[in-house]
Amino acid sequence: MRLKAHGWVYSFSIAATLAVGILIGTVISFGVKGKEGQKSSDATPLTVPAPQQLSNAFSRIAKELGPSVVNINTESTIKGFHHRKGQNNDDEDNDNGGGGMDDFFNRFFGGPGGSQMSPFGPDNGPIRERSLGSGVIVDSKGYIVTNRHVVEKADRIRVRLQDDPPGIQHDAKVIGEDQETDLAVIKIDLDRSLPAAKMGNSDGMEVGDWVLAIGSPFGQVGTVTAGIVSAKGRDIVPGRQFQSFIQTDAAINPGNSGGPLVNMNGEVIGINTAILSETNAYAGVGFSLPSNTVVQVYNQLIGPEHRVARGSIGIMFDSVENPAIARIYGSGTGVTVSSVVPGSPADQAGLKIGDTITSIEGQKVTKGSELVADIASRKPGSKVDIGFIRNGKQEHATVTVDDRAKLFASRLGEEDNGEEGSTPKQSKFGISVRKLTPEMADRLNMPAAKGVIVQDVKPGSFGEDVNLNRGDVILEINKQPVNSEEDLAKVEANLKSGQDVVFLVRPRGSTQQDGTIFMAGTLP
């Protein structure tokens, strides 16, 4: 037998190995003696428990749940030939379904075996793209849960059941999609009842619990892989709301997307959504959206409006906790507001940038995720008491919750190319800035003479450390307005090594409607 490991090839004989094993056992048996005078009368003999047929549990669950897992085949028309990205990049996610999230997830259809493009047609003409994914039947009437990116922009969706003869597929229609969680509900119409999977409670899962992943990796229908829950509550894309994942080492590959993650009771406790990999293939790190989130989204998608309504009060905050922000704005705990959407409920209630929200209806709030989860669960039109700290004083405001989708509907904008104005001055922060001209402000949909635009960030500088980028607009530094190069110079002249610095920034490519964020650090 030959075994290849780390570039070396080893040869050995099974018979010889067995013989050596027997010989070693014989030597150990006769060659080891206890020390004289040592007592062991209080030692408890070890026992071997009865063998557990865990493999039988795996096979039982696979047989029970397998028929409810489907293969999904979609076709899309692509205008103009292009190659999808297959490698990760550092772009952040945007709300129109592209950018960093797609590349981070490898899209499941952007790598080898995930999608196929027709070789026919001119380079600049429309072509047909076929993609494979998975789904799970959750209602015997033909309702199927899958990932949104499996069926997104598809001209035709076809579903293959595990017991279907080769070549038989069923046309499906989209019932509803939710971009925030990357979930979708589709339906097939058959004249018979279909096997439906049972949903489990994902909150009951613990790290180390056994799980199975079922789906169609690389189009291989009905594939079952086993692993454990590796971690819970994974937020794999910074700032991405409503996506806290179960991490698993059960093998997940392109084509598994939309298939179920199953516990040992045969219940669906997650929908396989993403992998972390440098090769677009299994690397031991997969992510599933918890079933409790899936159920909440599903129940709204099958409703009359076929959409998920989430509450919002129209504020933004730094997605990554930074103690420098709390120190500058004078609050030990809570969520510091970095932006207030003009005309939003928060704006109408008088909330301002720099306020630190500490409670909702009297319940303490310490993290942004807690704030979002609470407000998002409330119906638009309902009123909520918000406790906050402003300039060291505790205050309250009654805010009317609005529809999140309406408040943040226009999160698109042009990025400034930084080609106007005079020669920029170099800052000791390691950034070059330029006063915002009326023309630039108009393009950015911002008030004139508000802020300075970053023209360059020196590698290894403090500006780079706090994630400032070319095209960002700096509005304030440590609560002080910065509307010119001179303003910035005055602020930084009074700062010393070891002091906290908090920038209020409108990121490159965003508009006034998009809001502002904090970028903070301690000056070296």
Decide whether 311-407 matches 425-522 in CATH topology: yes
| DSSP label of 93 | B
Q: Is the distance from CB of 252 to CB of 283 less than 8 angstroms? A: no
Report how far residue 178's alpha carbon sits from residue 184's, in angstroms, rounded to the nearest whole number: 6
Question: What pLDDT score was predicted for residue 66?
Answer: 92
Q: How confident is the model at residue 331 (pLDDT cuts 50, 70, 90)?
A: low
Comparing C-alpha atoms, which of 461, 447, 462 is closest to residue 502? 462
pLDDT digits (tens, 9 = 90+) for 167-178: 889 999 999 999
- Residue 348: which H helix or E strand, with range? helix 345-349
Give the pLDDT band of residue 228 (cuts 50, 70, 90).
very high
Lowest mean pLDDT among 2-11, 82-91, 116-125, 246-255: 82-91
For position 478, what pLDDT does the model report?
A: 92
Confidence of residue 5 (pLDDT cuts 50, 70, 90): very low
**pLDDT higher than 50, residue 75:** yes
Average pLDDT over residues 477-489: 89
Mean pLDDT of 58-80: 85
pLDDT value at position 173?
A: 95
Is pLDDT of 362 > 60? yes
| Spatial distance between the Cα atoms of 244 and 232, rounded to a whole number of angstroms | 8
Q: Which helix (H) or strand (E) holds 372?
A: helix 368-376
421 token code pair: 């104005």
Name the pTM for this structure. 0.60
Question: Under CATH, which architecture does the 311-407 domain have?
Answer: Roll (2.30)
Q: Write down the domain spans for the chain.
A: 54-235+244-308, 311-407, 425-522
Q: What was the pLDDT predicted at 458? A: 84
Share of the chain above pLDDT 90, in %: 36
Using pLDDT thresholds of 50, 70 and 90, give the confidence band for residue 46.
confident
| Rounded distance between C-alpha atoms, residue 100 and residue 199, angstroms | 31
Give the whole-angstrom CA distance, residue 168 versus residue 160: 7
Q: Model confidence at 309, in pLDDT bands (50, 70, 90)?
A: confident
Greater confidence (428 vs 418) lies with 428
Q: Which CATH class is domain 425-522?
A: mainly beta
Write down the pLDDT at residue 240: 61
pLDDT band at 34 (very low <50, low <70, confident <90, very high): low
Let me know: does 444 contact 512? Beta carbons within 8 Å: yes
Selected from 2.40.10.120, 3.40.50.920, 1.20.1250.20, 3.50.50.60, the CATH number assigned to the domain covering 54-235+244-308 reads 2.40.10.120
* 43 or 376: which leads in pLDDT: 376
Give CA–CA dist 315/337, Å, rounded.
7
Could you give the dihedral angle defined by the CA atoms of residues 274, 280, 286 and 290, in that order, rounded to the nearest 10 degrees? 10
Positions annotated as catalytic residues are 149, 182, 257
Instruction: Give the separation between CA 72 and CA 86, rounded to whole angstroms.
Output: 21
